[in-house]
Amino acid sequence: MDPSYNQPLSEHQMNMARQLIERNFFVDCLSLASDQELDYGISSPDYPSRPATLVSMPPTEPEVVAFIMSTKSNCTKLLDGFVKLGFEPRHAMVPLENRDSNDRQSAFVKFLEAVYEGNTLIRNRTRIAAIFKWFIECQDSVHSLSASDLHPRKTSHWTDPGRPRAPMDHLTEMLKWQASGFRVCKNGVRMKCEMIEMLCAKGAVIDLYQDRFRSGQRSSGLTPNNAVGIAMTPQCPASFLRVFLSNRTKEDQEFVAVGKVWKSSGADLPRGMHYAMTYMESIVTHIYRDLFGATEHVGGRLRIDQEYRAKLALLNQPQWTDNTEAQALRNLVEVVNDILHEMELQTDFSQAEEGAGFKTYSWFRLCRAVSGLANDSYRAETEEYSKYHGDRRHRFVIDPLWDPRLQWIESELDQRVLDSILLIAQLPRVEVANLWREMILERGNGCQWWEVEEAYNFHVDAWDVEKALEEGALDRFADLSL
């Protein structure tokens, strides 16, 4: 016989037994309250009846949510049980776990971050939405400021010490990283947009400025810093832009409004004190990556041609865009439609060269579509207007230092470096890039990129560069042999 048989239970074992009894009894209460039979914990005829005095009802909002989210199923029934037992959402603050414990965050934001990081057994969108709706019944949950407690090694953003933000800011920050990253989860993006819409219905407001959190190591030049930039990423539904614009009802909130006191940055500035610029080269790059597989799509993808048509319909109004901006957006939407149509007609190219040629031509067309924003006269006109009247609330712009031909070179070099037999991969990158740049400028007759009207003059193939490098190597060899 086992010598431990019939031995007294240790204090630890007794505590575990009490916890199981209390948990099981409380779940039974919830089963009755929600009119559903729930099966959690141990059920055995060897256990005696569990008296009501042992019930330990979670006293705070965070504990209720933690209890519900630790279950694998029936969480909405548990939540319904809590409500029927009289447990209403209450605003509660809890210490941070991953950062300074002196900072605190709301139970609501803790729930949002758990969903964002996947730290919950709940995966069903309906169940998550039920908990979300329960939270926002409390107005304090909707508007109260909260720090971020996302794990530093798993996330892209967090709040600076002493800089808590409203739940809406947390949600839009999460949406920003989910919609603009190299890996886009369709369901995650859609759920964030639905949550944002529900928060707006409760009185929350989406801020134009979206760079109030400190960025982590995964930040990149493709990450938007304003709500319009987020909305214009390919896999962000048009519904987000619609909700954002619908709340901008004051005249000074219109994008064409001007102000001399607005700033382009400043995380501590109050809402309404920023103006923003959405860089079209970032949008074009996102679209190209989305079309040609550089972006990993999880759970499917949106029809970006349909989404961009809807976004254009929203922005093609005089209070949001000037004529040049509107024309650039119309051109861009038309090109996206054409590219997708051509891809559907021919889903598989017979030759790798044909596929590469189509990508190159598509890049030219996307850049050409928005080239009006880079025009010298338009840029000078907008700068002169801003000098005397102030900056516009929002504007679509192109960085004057951006040259899509050079961006294409860098992308090609990243791919060719893997082919070690090529001179392109063997020679110093700077040397190859300089030669490539010279060849492109020569082919384009020294024109600026937005002045080039033909695709042939916009691009020099990598094999042409390789031939030039080979000829240069032969010339150097001949000089040495003399």
Domain ranges of the chain: 413-482
Decide which of 481 and 71 is more confident: 71
pLDDT per residue as tens digits for the range 378-390: 999 999 999 999 9
123, 207, 147: which is closest to 172 by C-alpha?
207
> Which H helix or E strand runs over 130?
helix 125-135
- Specify the pairing of strand 214-215 against strand 157-158: antiparallel
Farthest CA pair distance, the chain? 103
Q: Average pLDDT in the 89-99 region?
A: 77
**DSSP reduced 3-state for 456:** helix
Instruction: Give the lowest-confidence range in 13-27, 158-172, 317-331.
Output: 13-27
Could you tell me the two tokens for 270? 């109050």
Question: For residues 465 and 423, what is the distance between their CA atoms, to the nearest angstrom?
Answer: 9
Decide which of 305 and 137 is more confident: 305
Phi/psi for 185 (5° steps) reads -95, 115
Q: Average pLDDT in the 197-214 region?
A: 93
Question: For residues 259 and 171, what is the distance between their CA atoms, to the nearest angstrom?
Answer: 28
Decide which of 318 and 425 is more confident: 318
* CA 54 and chain centroid, separation: 46
What value does the mean pLDDT of the chain take?
Answer: 81
Cβ neighbours around 399 below 10 Å, total: 13
Residue 306: its pLDDT value, please? 96
480 band by pLDDT with thresholds 50, 70 and 90: very low
Quickly list H helices, 154-303.
167-180, 186-201, 227-231, 238-246, 280-291
Q: How long, in residues, is the chain?
A: 482
Sequence letter at residue 93: M
Please give the DSSP secondary-structure letter assigned to residue 95: E
Contacts of 276 (CB under 8 A, 6+ apart): 208, 209, 225, 226, 227, 228, 229, 264, 393, 394, 395
Contacts of 186 (CB under 8 A, 6+ apart): 235, 297, 298, 299, 300, 301, 302
Residue 105: its pLDDT value, please? 86
Compute the C-alpha angle 44/49/55, nearest 5°.
Answer: 105
108, 77, 76, 104: which is closest to 91 by C-alpha?
108
81 pLDDT exceeds 70? no
Residue 447: its pLDDT value, please? 94
Residue 390: its pLDDT value, please? 94
Q: Average pLDDT in the 283-292 region?
A: 96
225 pLDDT exceeds 90? yes
**DSSP reduced 3-state for 162:** coil
Contact 268, 215 (CB under 8 A): no
61 band by pLDDT with thresholds 50, 70 and 90: low
Instruction: Give the lowest-confidence range in 151-160, 189-198, 227-236, 457-466.
Output: 151-160
Percent of the chain with pLDDT over 70: 72
Q: Average pLDDT in the 437-451 region?
A: 94
Q: What is the pTM of this model?
A: 0.82
Residue 229: its pLDDT value, please? 98
pLDDT per residue as tens digits for the range 406-424: 999 998 888 776 666 677 7
Could you tell me the two tokens for 132? 């979300």
6 pLDDT exceeds 80? no
Contact 95, 104 (CB under 8 A): yes
Contact 325, 279 (CB under 8 A): no
Strand partners, 263: 274
Residue 49: its pLDDT value, please? 40
Query: What is the sign, positive or negative, of the torsion defined by CA atoms of 197, 198, 201, 207?
Result: negative
Residue 405: its pLDDT value, please? 96
Decide which of 81 and 358 is more confident: 358
